[in-house]
Amino acid sequence: MMDAVKLALVGAALLLLGGAAVVGGVLPAAEALAIAERVWPILLFVVAVTVVAELAAVAGVFDVVAGFLARLSRGRTVLLWLLVVALATVSTAFLSLDTTAVLLTPVVIAVARANALPALPFAFTTVWLANTASLFLPVSNLTNLLAEHRLGEIGPLGFLALMGPSAVVAVAVTVALLFVLHRRALTGRHVPAAAPRVADRTQLRVAAVVVALLLPLLVSGLPPWLPAVVAAAALTVFFAWRSPAVLDVRLVPWSLLVFASGLFLAVGALEALGSGAVLSAVAGAGETLVDLWRLAGTGMLAANLVDNLPAYLAFESTADSPTRLAALLIGVNAGPLITPWASLATLLWHQRLRAVGVEVPWRRYMLLGLLAAPLIVGLSVIPLALR
């Protein structure tokens, strides 16, 4: 499994390869600078929103919201699960799939245990929705931010207009499959648990206000990195005063930064060597339903073979229209449900589950993913062909 250290090592190796390509003249320096100009706002956003989410989790924001939803269900298990579905969808759409996988997963497992419910249905809910609900907004997934840049900075509303119908289908199919697979565990009633204990209510209130203000700003049309950086700075200053021990360099996702930076440079070098022509032959062309299925399916297969970020970068040049780019996003966002390494969020999710004592065999995960991924991707592409 690719943990943070291995991810950073792979990223460092890719950076060295990319640097060698620049020095050797394979990748012109001007193109390398263009890649850096495209990437820095995206990576800055990733860092800032990760810091915000981590500090909000420390303050207990996710615990309190999940506890509120548990009480709101009034002992009806299926209603509690549907409220978790809504929370995972909103968390993914506004705060990214990694936030849902890393920070929401242990909270949801704790809620399930506190209410004497099986953990697995809730665990699969967070990881599947972390991937499939990441189609809604640019900030939902790193691939979306890259796509928005390629689309000419269409903004959150333009992105939602393009991807919204497919995202709704992806989430609806995901929820339907999850319910069918876990229906026995999701029916009946339970005794609601008491509200979670909050150690520092002032800390909770401040973090909650910052998050509440950040969410609408992320879809306001401002560059996403700007409100995210302001929110991260505000929480950092507050925690430096209130709980300085919480602040640690590990709040910053260093391994992801190194990996993404190296990947961007390495893919740029491959494109300079002519990889685009080969991949175009694989992905095809056109915007009929079959053409879009072909591209989305190619993206899904590539993501499950090598991870969704390199899969997107590799095939981005073959998506020469908004509709084709949307199909590729469906494949690389909603499709990484089969192999453990298809999405970094999946690996992080599995690590968090093991940390709280929940074991999900990869064999079971992959078999269920083989059922879910093609169905979700195939049905989600249909709205694009009807545009």
Mean pLDDT, the chain, integer: 88
What's this model's pTM, rounded to 2 decimal places?
0.86
Neighbour tally for 376: CB within 10 Å = 27
Share of the chain above pLDDT 70, in %: 98
pLDDT on residue 33: 86
Secondary structure of 92-126 in HEC code, one letter for each residue = HHHHCHHHHHHHHHHHHHHHHHHCCCCCHHHHHHH
Mean pLDDT for the stretch of residues 17-28: 83
Name every residue whose Cβ is closer than 8 Å to that of residue 205 and which is 6 or more positions away in sequence. none
Largest CA distance in the chain: 67
For 286-315, what is the mean pLDDT? 92
Query: For the chain, how big is the Rg over CA atoms in Å?
Result: 20
For the stretch 178-223, pLDDT in tens is 999 999 989 888 777 777 788 889 999 999 999 999 989 988 888 8
- Taken in order 91, 211, 219, 79, the sign of the CA dihedral is positive
Closest-CA residue to 231 (of 48, 1, 7)? 48
Closest CA to 36 of 149, 123, 125: 149
What's the pLDDT tens digit per position in 68-116?
A: 888 888 889 999 999 999 999 999 999 889 889 888 888 889 888 888 8
In the chain, % of residues over pLDDT 90: 43
> Could you identify the residue written with the tokens 């989790």?
57
- For position 276, what pLDDT does the model report? 66
Q: The tokens of 37 are what?
A: 């100009």
Listed residue (93, 113, 95, 114) closest to 103, CA to CA: 95
pLDDT band at 4 (very low <50, low <70, confident <90, very high): low
**Length reported for the chain:** 387
Helices 142-150 and 155-186, interaxial angle, to 10°?
Answer: 150
Beta bridge partners of 189: 76
**What pLDDT, on the 0 to 100 scale, is given for residue 1?**
39
| Averaged pLDDT, 14-42 | 83
pLDDT in tens, 322-370: 999 999 999 999 999 999 888 888 888 888 888 788 888 899 999 999 9
Q: How far is Cα 128 from Cα 292, in angstroms, rounded to an integer? A: 22
What pLDDT is stored for residue 222 in this prediction? 86
